[in-house]
Structure 1
Amino acid sequence: MQKASTGPSGDRPSSSDLLCFSHLRWDFVTQRPQHLLSRFARERRVFYWEEPVYDTGEAWLDVSPRADGLTVVIPHLPWRDPEANDAAQRVLLDAFMDEQGIGAHVAWFYTPMALGFAGHLSPLATVYDCMDELSAFLYAPPELLEREAELLRRADLVFTGGPSLYEAKHGRHPSVHLFPSSIDTAHFGRARGLKDADPADQAGIAHPRIGFFGVLDERFDPELVRDIAAARPEWQLVLIGPVVKIDEDALPKAENIHYLGGKSYGELPEYLAGWDVAALFFAINESTRFISPTKTPEYLAAGRPVVSSPIVDVERTWARDAMVRIAADADAWVRAIESLLEMDGAEREAWLERVDRALARSSWDQTYHEMRALLDGAAEGREWDASADGVEQESGLAAAAGD
């Protein structure tokens, strides 16, 4: 059986495996976990444990190794009560760790709900990467806030995906670090140089095009889209992304509203290249109170002028120097879009210079390296005995926390 190698004392944090527990599907849309964990997978084994799929039969694991060095693990469980499901996942997790030879490891949480089956682990370090206020989302489990309080007690490090989340969490843990959404500038910057490369399902749509990509869920504002489309029937609204948790029949329908479905991360620059304005069609409600949309810098890197609903983190970070226009209602949206469509060449060049200066301060590589340094520091005080069947001997922060 293969065992995780600890290496020399100073190398332990980088050589330890990383177990990530997430509420997001790896193959759904590319978000923060994919950007960060694919980088961690270059130096260590990374196992991405998703939320269960419920079907008939016995509990089992769908284990899918990926070319990027990461392994996706999907539990399949019979539909039972949450307590029984946690018990079943704990059995699956323990057997999986034994089978994979996972000894020294980092536990990385995107969802506090995973504590129900992974709370017995004794990792070198525990990370809570808080990218959303999950309790504000539709169908959030009632015990989520209690589980989050427990995760905050156990965690060595807490990362937050935006300023609003940082402000909400920093008083609840002694080591909270702000890591806003970063940007793969080269990937989305390709859109600036693409000419006449419209994908087939977008090529027949007239201009001007106002585009949006992302998940269409409770954060999306269908009424806003309906009102803008009605106010300017000559504008074409292009919406890219899957529909989740909301009724697809409730989405606005009009000749100038185009739903193109989900697209891969690699395809997005080609679609962006054909838009005149990019949009953040977000509703203002509890589910958007703490969001810091990754698509904001992605739109900007593509060289697309952007209009957004008044999302707090967008206003704070990107509305400076008019890099993003903020509009509170449909009338304001129409005025903002009109002003961007009328920008002349000199105005656009000046805007792009401001955008590029801001984007140069952030990248996923930089975020990864800063997180890794913090993680290495948090794990330095831990000891692990590889001879005892991979049983970790705790010291330092873990023992003090009573994990």
Structure 2
Amino acid sequence: MESKEKPLNIMFVSHTYIGGSFVVGSHHLARELLSLGHRVLHLSTSITPIHLLQMKKKSVSDRFKQWININKQDKNDQIIHCVPFSWVPWKLAGRIFQKTGINWFVRCIAFPSVTRMLANHRFTEVDLLLIDQPYFVGIERYIKAKVIVYRPTDNYKDILDDQTVESAEKEIVSRAHGIVATSDPVFQNIQKYKPELPGIVMENGVEFEHFSTAGAEPEELMHIPWPRAIYIGAVDNRLDMEAIKQLAEARKDLSIIVIGPHLPSSSLSTSPNVHMLGAKPYSQLPAFLHHATLALLPMSNHAANAGRSPMKLYEYAAAGLPTVVTATPELLRRTDHFLYFYKDKQEFIAQVNDVLKKLANNEISKSKIIHEARKQSWEAKAEQLLAFGSSLGG
């Protein structure tokens, strides 16, 4: 990598496209690196012919639009974000890769090819290549990169329930110059493939200015009584929905607000004091947080939860919210003072009661919580990432 005075070509090979419902770490890092004066290209998971059958989904149609416009963006003051097209889906390509070491998910990227796309955007040479999508194993062969960093954000084998991912990660690590993991369990899981490889744990951060700024109370909240406990995120098998239901039953005076995509048939919707508001634009999330009393993150016993580095914790904190969260070794390691841990459903209810009591007695300082969140800004994370990349040479 070159000196700080010269803008770098930095490329993300990521799992989540820019512009959708989910704003993930690679998006935040890309934004901050761009603001530091570097050129940034963000490549996310390819669409395939299978996706043509799912065009009614907004996320799929959005990705097709980005693929169609893949060559139409190259402004120095913007992130270049690309969704490629591959003829072969990973479900098939992964099984073939496991047996042959050849990844047709990457080899069959077309219209344009990887090399043509990079040439179109003047990324024929890349100073720092950051890979967090193992499906793209082998793409580094097509990229002239000075430094390659594998940046896993989860224990993918567990979260995706996909055994082929393990083979992909081993191959990526064998070619990488370093590892940046978002939690210690994820780091330990990856480092075992190449123990001598340099690496750091860099937890997910927060867009502090965005989440610390209060907005007007959203209209959807105006009819919901106080106190309010809020959860923002996916409603899937990583969320302990039974714990939320038991809390709703035990504290009928507590309004529980759930923001995030969910099925209409979700079992949570049967509780009268649980308010399922659905997914909201990222721009609106701070307004919901600033009009809540406390935050919740009840995690199920899903294997992937052990390695999670939830961005929402510091987003909650930037809004000054104490958070009741499942105790995991990773979160306990961090010693964040705004987190109130529990181990079982009974303790979950007890901790919520305790936090509400402390808030009523002014025993919890929201300003101190906000101060803790400020230290986890994405700007600081981007600078840490650059420093680590520079230490790897190239």
Q: TM-score, normalised by structure 1?
A: 0.80
Comparing 306-315 and 116-125, the one that deviates more:
116-125
- Counterpart of 1:372, as a letter, is L
Q: How far is 1:236 from its partner?
A: 1.4
* 1:124 counterpart SS class: strand
For the 8 Å contact 1:241–1:262, the answer to whether it is kept is yes
CA distance in 2, matches of 1:340, 1:117: 48
Shift of 1:144: 0.9
Residue-by-residue CA offset, 1:358-385 (whole Å, 9 max, x unaligned): 4354322111112112223434x4xxxx
Deviation at 1:347, TM superposition (A): 0.9
Partner of 1:347: 363
Structure 1 residue matching 2:324: 3-state secondary structure: strand
In the alignment, what sits opposite 1:236? Answer: 255
CA contact (8 A) 1:89 1:117 kept: no
**For 1:23 and 1:173, how far apart are their aligned partners in 2?**
26
For the pair 1:373 / 2:390, whether they are aligned, the reply is no
Q: Specify the SS of the correspondent of 1:159.
A: strand
Map residues 156-305 of structure 1 onto 2, 5 A cutoff.
156-171=177-192, 172-191=195-214, 197-243=216-262, 249-253=265-269, 254-305=271-322
Per-residue CA shift, 1:284-310, capped at 9, x if unaligned? 220101112111122122111210112
Secondary structure at the aligned position of 2:108 is classed as helix
SS of the aligned residue for 1:284 comes to: coil
Give, as a single letter, the amino acid of the residue that structure 1 aligns with 2:115.
D
Aligned to 1:316: 333
Q: Deviations over 1:40-88 (max 9, x none)?
A: 223232221111223459x965427498611221123456642543322
Contact kept in structure 2, 1:219 and 1:285, CA below 8 Å:
yes
Alpha-carbon deviation of 1:152? 1.2
Structure 2 unaligned residues grouped into runs of 5+: 54-63, 94-102
- Note the alpha carbon deviations across 1:96-117, whole angstroms, 9 max, x for none: 1222232220321011220244
SS at match of 1:325: strand
Shift of 1:37: 0.9
CA contact (8 A) 1:162 1:180 kept: yes
Shift of 1:314: 2.0
**Equivalent residue letter for 1:46:** V
Equivalents in 1 of 2:73, 2:258: separation in Å?
32
Cα deviations across residues 321-348 of structure 1 (Å, max 9, x unaligned)? Answer: 5x21112232212211111112245412
Aligned: 1:31 with 2:14: no
- Is residue 113 from structure 1 mapped to residue 135 from structure 2 by the alignment? yes
1:40 aligns with 2:61: no
- For the pair shown, the structure with the greater C-alpha radius of gyration is 1
The alpha-carbon deviation at position 125 of structure 1 amounts to 0.9
What is the number of equivalent residue pairs in this alignment?
A: 359
Q: Secondary structure of the equivalent of 1:347?
A: coil
Residues 209-251 of structure 1: per-residue CA shift (max 9 Å, x gap): 11001122331122112222222222211111123xxx65244
Paired residues of 1:61 and 1:73 also in contact (CA < 8 A): no
Q: Residue in 2 aligned with 1:150?
A: 171
Whether the 8 Å contact between 2:86 and 2:106 is mirrored in structure 1 is: no
Given that 1:284 and 1:311 are in contact with CA atoms closer than 8 Å, whether structure 2 keeps it comes out as no
The CA RMSD measured in Å over matched residues stands at: 2.7
**Alignment-derived partner of residue 115 in structure 2:** 94
Q: Distance in 2 between matches of 1:10 and 1:286?
A: 41
Give 1:161 deviation, angstroms: 0.9
Q: Residue 338 of structure 1 corresponds to which residue in structure 2?
A: 353
- Letter of the aligned partner of 1:37 in structure 2? A
The equivalent residue for 2:80 is 71
Q: How far apart, in 1, do the equivalents of 2:107 and 2:226 lie?
A: 55
Q: What is the rounded CA distance, in whole Å, between the counterparts of 1:119 and 1:229 in structure 2?
A: 53
Q: Identify if the C-alpha distance between structure 1 residues 255 and 159 changes in structure 2 by more than 3 Å, giving closer, same or farther.
A: same
Distance, in Å, in 1 between the alignment partners of 2:26 and 2:293 is 29
Q: Which residue of structure 2 lines up, in the alignment, with residue 54 of structure 1? A: 48
Call closer, same or farther: CA 1:79–1:151 in 2, change over 3 Å.
closer
Counterpart position of 2:59: none
Q: How far, CA to CA, are the matches of 1:315 and 1:292 in structure 2? A: 12
Q: Which of the numbers 7, 25, 31 marks the counterpart of 1:15? A: 7
Q: 1:70 to 1:35 in 2, by over 3 A?
A: same
Cross-structure match for 2:148: 126
SS of 1:52's equivalent in the other structure is coil
Please tell me the residue identity of whatever aligns with 1:364.
W
Q: 1:170 Cα shift?
A: 4.2
8 Å contact 2:204–2:309 — kept in the other structure? Answer: yes
* Unmatched runs of 5 consecutive residues or more in structure 1: 1-5, 382-403
What residue in structure 2 maps to residue 395 of structure 1? none
TM-score, length basis structure 2? 0.82
